[in-house]
Amino acid sequence: MKKLKLNSGSVWAGIITGVLSQIKDTVALKHGKIDRGEYAVHTAENISSAVGVALGIEYGAVLGTMACPGIGTAIGSILGGIVGDGLGRFIGQKTSNIVYNQPIIKFRANNVSVTNQVDCGNESENQDQIKIK
């Protein structure tokens, strides 16, 4: 199996793709077009896309070379990068939505009142009650 090296073109293509996408999202955050939650989702998506591009180029090239050395390598690299980018973005978006967009149950203390009621006619002198408005 072929090892990816930091100086290989596929890794640099992935890094450049991820950095450019992250710059675009950072500008959108700065101008208020997206909020911090969306920014976190986009960041995870950009990272997984960068990895997808790098792996897609590498494995697309391998498959293209097996099919038709030369032109198959080039076509496989391009198609692999496109598929890797799409798959990486899909996986990044789904997983980051699960992590960053969990529904949070908000409990408002001002809607709950606790009272201690004394009823002399019953056996128990103290009855604690919780009322939800």
* Tens digits of residue pLDDT in 86-121: 999 999 988 888 877 665 533 443 444 445 555 555
Check residue 113 and give its pLDDT: 47
DSSP 8-state assignment for residue 104: -
Report residue 95 as tokens: 């997983």
Check residue 121 and give its pLDDT: 56
Check residue 9 and give its pLDDT: 85
- Secondary structure element (H or E) that encloses residue 52, with its range: helix 36-67
Check residue 129 and give its pLDDT: 53
Residues forming beta bridges with residue 127, ordered by sequence position: 117
Check residue 109 and give its pLDDT: 37
Check residue 107 and give its pLDDT: 42
Q: Tokens 């090296």 belong to which residue?
A: 5
Let me know: does 110 contact 125? Beta carbons within 8 Å: no
Amino acid, res. 52: G
Given a cut of 50, the residues of the chain with pLDDT beneath it are 105-114
